[in-house]
Each structure stands twice: as structure tokens, then as C-alpha cells.
Structure 1
């Protein structure tokens, strides 16, 4: 048995650096492909990234239930992590395809096809209070996204996401989902999701959107494999 060091970042924090969706980041050379899903499940995050080539930004993404060809918070988090560790890549490479990376001040963004990512069951609720009152235990299958306008004129949304199909009761911040919502609504969005994470999108019709936010260091972990 071997101790595996896992870097952790929090993706899509609020402007004060709070909240954010934890992301495990692992040196891909240390974990063979047949073991990657089990390690992701043991870590317990919605996704874990394996960096197979830092210089080129080549990644693989796993949840507790399998490999994902694309996901938003892992690609944004990995882009920020690589930048701070001497690899300011302009493109992330994942199985779904190349992902363009941009950085503006302290915000990292990725550009993706809005058809990528999981299939969600969308619920537009009447108020932010209704979104916050939702009981996660009521959602025991699939992927469900609840949202309501906080300020429609400014494109600000309050949202929560439940993803038991990925082994996640509630996902704190879901990048691919907000790119899909951006395409549905046909406009740029500022989404406040989960406990208080912030995601920012731009609509790039006909097929793309960007999603970005702040990324802050999390607490590193060591697990035995």
C-alpha cells in the first residue's frame, strides 16, 4: 500500500474566497487508469482530476461513478492550479476535446460546447427562497438543477444542484450545468450556487459558452491506495 498526496483547490469561490467546490488534483503518473475511479470515490469530491501532462494541460476527470469526458469545475480548477504551478496553459485537453482557457485578473474561465456535460432535469422555481428551501433527500436519482432569478435584469441567478447519479447528494458549483443554462436563456449569467459559490458565464452562440470564477487553495490530503 502507498500513500498518495492529493492537492485540493476550491473552485468558484465567492469574491471573499469563501465556499467553492473542492477538487482533488492528482499526478496521473501515480495512479493507473483502472484505479482512478476508486481513488475518486475514496476522496468523496464530485470530481477528481488526474494530470497526465502538466506542460500540455492534458487531464482525465473522474467522479465516484466513472470517467467524465468533460466537466466545468475540474477544468477551471485545473487551469488555475497549473497556472500557479508554472504551467499557464492556454488550452486544457480532455477526452471531449480541447478547452480554451482565459484568465482575467483573478478569474479563470474555460470555453466549452454547451451540449457537453451531464443531462439535467431543470426546474425554474418562483423564488430564491424556494430554491434554498429544497430538501436534498427528495432527489435520489439522476441530475436535478433548481434555479430562480435573484435579479433578472442583471442576469443573476440563485441555484442548487443535486447529482446522486454521480454519487453526490448536492454539488456545490456545477460549471457544465451553468453553460447549458446560459445557452437555454441566451444570455450571460452570474450564478450563485450551493452554499454560496459564484460562477460567471458568457454566451457564445450558436454552440459555446464560457464559465469561470475564482479558485483558491484547499486543504491538501493524503490517502492510502
Structure 2
């Protein structure tokens, strides 16, 4: 059966930057094994399969796969697929709002598309808030894995910690961009986690961070942009940063070490000292489309 697919670059406005994504349209009839095999064939950090929603008021139902496993939720697939679906809507205006059904729940999205049909920007709100999963491993354990020194681990009040939002991450602060760039990809000590390294961005203002993410156990040696990890990072900021009530905009840069720079917009809303909502936003641009014969 012929099935259309589209590839996009996500968390960037430039083609051949950001995080590549494959979206398989009209995925009805594919079983889990077939979807996993197709994701392995694309060999991108994630591949999305689009199916009709279970409820008519939603835009679509999504399943998301890395080359190694299915994910309940992921950020760059949500942004890229939301932009693509908005572009396909013949009645689209300057902005569209709809829900996407993912294994984690209903993900509300707002999309603005470009008039030439080449891409757009999407923002989504997490259906669940980040969960604190406990302290991370000691620097003496993490540093050898990453090819760093124990003194490179830590920045300000930050210490290694574990947070999840569907996918889980061991979050590791490092003391400088130099140490971040020098780190070698590694698997987190907990095999279920991605390994998320972060440091303050000296070129940014306010809450600006440079990050890298490694997940070899999921078939992703290094990811150019990781929306789910950025979502979990909201929990890190709540734990270690002195954030007051209100809305906080956080700029995250990722992918520089891979030559695929990405920009992720993270927004936290805090009320009475508690995290009330988390939103992730970014751009996506279409790169190519084609046909799968499966």
C-alpha cells in the first residue's frame, strides 16, 4: 500500500538544521512491528505515524517511535506534526488550535503557518506536569561516563537530578559551555533515561541554557533538539532556580555540537509557588515528501 510521508526540520526556521522528523500520513493498518521497522528504516531520532482521532473534536491520533522503541510523548514530533497538519488544512487561517491524541494524553496545540506553505511555528501545552524522580548519580560516577572531570559537574545550586514527563531523563548540570562541548555521548546509568546535559548560555539573557541529550539505548546517540527533555527541564528549574510567581520564558539552544543548531522556547507558569503549566514552542520547515510502499 502506498502511504505518503513528509520530512521536516524542527525547532529551526532553516532547512538542514534543527532536528529531522519523518511523519507517515494515513498510517491506518500498520501494526506496532511495522511502525517500529519503518522508524528503523528512517533512522531519525523520531518518526510519527498519523491516524484518525478517536474523538472527532481532535485533529489526529499520533504514535511516535525512535529507532529503538515507542514513546508516549515527544516534543519535536508534536511541533513538527502540528505544523504539517495545519498546513494540510484547506481552511487554515493565520492560526489554528487543535488537540493531538498521544499516549500521554491530549496535547493542545496552537499553530501559525507561513503563507507559502513551507512551514510554521507551533506551541503546545503539556497534558501532565514534570515529575521529580529523585536525585541523580554522583558526579564521580557521571564524569567518567562523559569523559569529564567530577569538578565539571554542577553549576550554581544545580546538582544531578532525575525528572520525567512520559520519557524520563537524568539531568546533569555542567559548569561551562567548554565542558558541555567536550562531553562524549553516553547512556544514563538508569537504562530507561535519556542523559540531558545543561549549562547557562553565556550568550543569552535571563533564563537561557545550552543543552545536549544522549539516549543510545533508544537508538539516539545524540539528539539535535529534544522537546520532551526541555519539558522535564521545567522540573529542574523549579527545583534549583529561584523562580517567583508569574510566567517565565526560557530559551534553550541545542544541537550546536552536531552542526544542527536548534532553538526551543520553554514557558513556565507558576502560581502560589507551584508549577501550573508548561508550554513548548518552536518552528518547523518542510524538507521533502515521498511515498512508502508498505
**Which interval holds the TM-score relative to the shorter structure?**
0.7 to 0.9
Q: Secondary structure at the match of 1:173?
A: coil
Of 250, 255, 259 in structure 2, the residue corresponding to residue 189 of structure 1 is 250
Of 107, 113, 133 in structure 1, the residue corresponding to residue 121 of structure 2 is 107
Segment of structure 1 superposing worse, 125-134 or 202-211 = 202-211
State the Cα deviation string for residues 41-100 of structure 1 (Å, max 9, x = none): 111111111110277222111222222111111111111010111174521111211111
Partners in 2 of 1:51 and 1:7 — Cα distance? 11
TM-fit CA distance, 1:156: 1.1
1:67 alignment partner in structure 2: 70
Segments of structure 1 that go 5 or more residues without pairing to the other structure are: none
Cα 1:90/1:223, change in 2 over 3 Å? closer
Cα 1:81/1:104, change in 2 over 3 Å? closer
Question: Which structure carries more relative contact order (alpha carbon 8 Å, separation 6+)?
Answer: 1
Partners in 2 of 1:16 and 1:4 — Cα distance? 26
TM-score in terms of structure 1 length: 0.87
Q: Secondary structure at the match of 2:225?
A: coil
2:44 alignment partner in structure 1: 45
Segment of structure 1 superposing worse, 100-109 or 202-211 = 100-109
1:98 alignment partner in structure 2: 106
Q: Secondary structure at the match of 2:28?
A: helix
1:135 alignment partner in structure 2: 184
2:174 alignment partner in structure 1: 125
Q: Secondary structure at the match of 1:131?
A: helix
Cα 1:90/1:190, change in 2 over 3 Å? same
Partners in 1 of 2:292 and 2:233 — Cα distance? 36
